[in-house]
Structure 1
C-alpha cells in the first residue's frame, strides 16, 4: 500500500530547504552590504578628516614662516625705542604659533590612536600607524624650527648681525624640511585614501560576485530540488496508477478481476434496462487445464492462461469487457450484441486457441482447447447473478456435448 506521509514529508523538507537557502542568501547579502557601508564610514571618519588636519597644520606652519620672515625683516629696520616691544611680540606670536601647531598635531595623534584601537581587524589600522609616525616627524621638525627662530630673535635682540643671519639660515632650512615633511604626509594621505577607496570598491565587487555565486548556487540547488519533487510526484503517480490497475485487474493475465467485472456487468445491465440495447455474456474455461497444471507445473499453466487472455483481447472489440473469473474460467461481456452474434466471435477465439502449441519442460509440445457458453440478458430477470448462472448452464451444456465448442443459451435451459 502506498504510504502518503513519507512523500509529503520529503516534499515539505525540500520546499523548506529552498526557503532556508534563499533566506541565508539574503542574510549574507545584507551582511556584505553592511561591511561595505562600514568600510566607507571608516574612510570618511579616519582618512578624509586627516586631509583637513594637514591643511590646519600647513596654515599654522605658514603663519610661523611669516613670523620668521617678519622677524628677519625687522632686524634691518628696528629703532632703539620700539626694539624691545616688537621682539617681545614676535616671541609671543612664535610661541602661540608653536602651541597651535602642537595642539593640532596632538589632536590628530590622539584621533589616530583611538582609530587604531577601534578598527580592530580593519586593514586601516596599519595606515593609521604610518600616519602617526609622520605626525611625530612633523612635530620634531617644527620644534627644531621654533628653536632656531627663537635663537634668531635672541641674536636680533643682541644686535648680533652674523649670528642673526646664521640662525635665519638654519631656521629657513628647518622650515624647508618641515614643508617637505608636510608635503610627504599630504601625498601619503591622498595615496592611502585612494587605496582605501580602491579597497572599498574591490570589496564591493567581491560582494557582488559572492552574491551572484550564492544566487546561482541557490538556483541550482532549488532546480535540483524541484526536479526531485517532480520525480517523487511522478513516482507516486506511477505507483498510484499501478495500484489502481492492480485493484481492478488480474495480475497474471491483465484482464479485469472478478470483483470489477461483476460491477461492470451490473452497470451494463442497468444501461440495457434503461436504453434497451442487447447484452450477451460468455462464460468459458480451458479443457483439462488441471491436468496440464498438475503434470507440468504452474509455469506452463500460467503461460497457457496468459496466451488465452491475449487471444481474447485480440479478438474482442474495444467496448467488449473481458475478465478472469477464477482459476481457468474467463468471462466476456458483449454490449449491443446478442448471443448469436457473440457466438461468431467466440468461435474465432476457440479456433485460434486450439491452434496454439505450447512447449513443455520435457521437450514435447501440447495443444489445448476451450469450451464456451453464452447467454442473452433476460430483462424479465435483471439480476447479474442470474445472467451468470444462465451462461454457466450454457457452458455446462457445451461440456456435456464433448467440450471444445461454443453453445448459446436456448429456451430449454431452466434456471430453476
Structure 2
C-alpha cells in the first residue's frame, strides 16, 4: 500500500514558518512531524510519497529519500502532514475519509479510484469528497497554528527521548557538572560540559545531541532538547519545553520555545512560548512578551486580514527564516514576523509584519529587496560553513512574490534602490 503525506491549505495558518518548508518538516520534540508520523508506519517505509507545493518540490527532492508528488495508481493511504501523531494509524478499510472542522485528516482510496485521482496543488476536503468516500468526523490532534506545536513540545521531548532508549547514557565527561535525575539525561558524543553546569531532569528529560557545548554556570531544566553542534552560553537559563535545533548559539533566558536550527540568540534577553525558523539572529537584549498585562487570552494576527484568538494565556512570537533584530528589540505577545525581515528601533515592533520588510520604528517600514536579503543570507550561511543552494534561492524569491499582496495591504513602501 502506498502512503502519501500531504500538504493541505491549512499550511497558510502556519506562515511564516511554512513559506520555506512543508508543515510536516516543523519539529516538535526530537523529531519533525513527518518523522513522528512515520514512526507509526514501520512496515511501509519503502512506499512513502511526499506531497508539497510546487515551489518547494525541487528543494525537497534534493534529500532524495522519498518520491515527491509522484503518486502511483494503486491503493493509497493519505495522511495530513499537520497531524500531531501520538498513536498508530488504522489503515484498514476501503475508500474512507476522516475529517474535522473542514480539514481532511486521513483518507484511503483503492486502486480503481486512484486511477481517476488528480493530485492538487494543495489538498482540501473537496479533493476527497469528489470521490464520494464514506466520511467520518474525527478529533485527531493537528497543528492549526504555531502555538499548537509548542503546547505539546515538552510532552514530545519526553516521549521521543524515552523512545530513543538512550536516556541514562552519558558518552561525554560530566565532571564538575551537577546532574539531577541523571537516568533521565542523555549526553551525546563529543559534548563539552563546562564546570558549574546544572542539568535538572527531575521534571522532564534532557537530551543533548553530539558535539553540543554548554558553557559554565548554564542551567538547563527539562524537558529540553539541545541539537547537534549547538552552543549554550555562560549562565544561560533554559527552561522546560524548550527545543533547540542544530548549530544554534543560545544565551539569556529561554522557556517553552522552539528554535528550528542555525539561530543566533546568544545574548541576554527573554524568549518565551515562541517558535523561530532557521537562520534567525536576535540582537543583544531582544525580548519578547508571552503574557498580556490583563492576563486575557493572546490574540495573534496571522495575516493582513486575519486575527485569531489563541484562547491561551501564554503565547510569544513566531519568527520566520532569516529574520534579524537589532539590539534591545521588543516584541509583544502574539507577534508574527515574516521571513527576511530586518527590525529594530525603540518601542514595541508591529505585531504583524509580512516577509521582506525593513522596519525602523522611527520611520515607516519599507520593503527589504530580495537581492539584498538573499546576499546577506549567503554571507550568514557561509560563516557557518553552509552554501545557499539554487533550489533554496528559488524558494526565497518565490516567498517575495507570494507575500507581495500582504505588503501592499499593509502599505509597505518600496525601498529606494541604490544607483550603484
Q: Same fold (TM over 0.5)?
A: no
Q: Which has the higher helix share?
A: 1
Q: Which has the higher strand share?
A: 2
- TM (norm. structure 1) is 0.18
- TM (norm. structure 2) is 0.18
**Larger of the two Rg values belongs to structure:** 1
Higher relative contact order (CA 8 A, sep 6+): 1
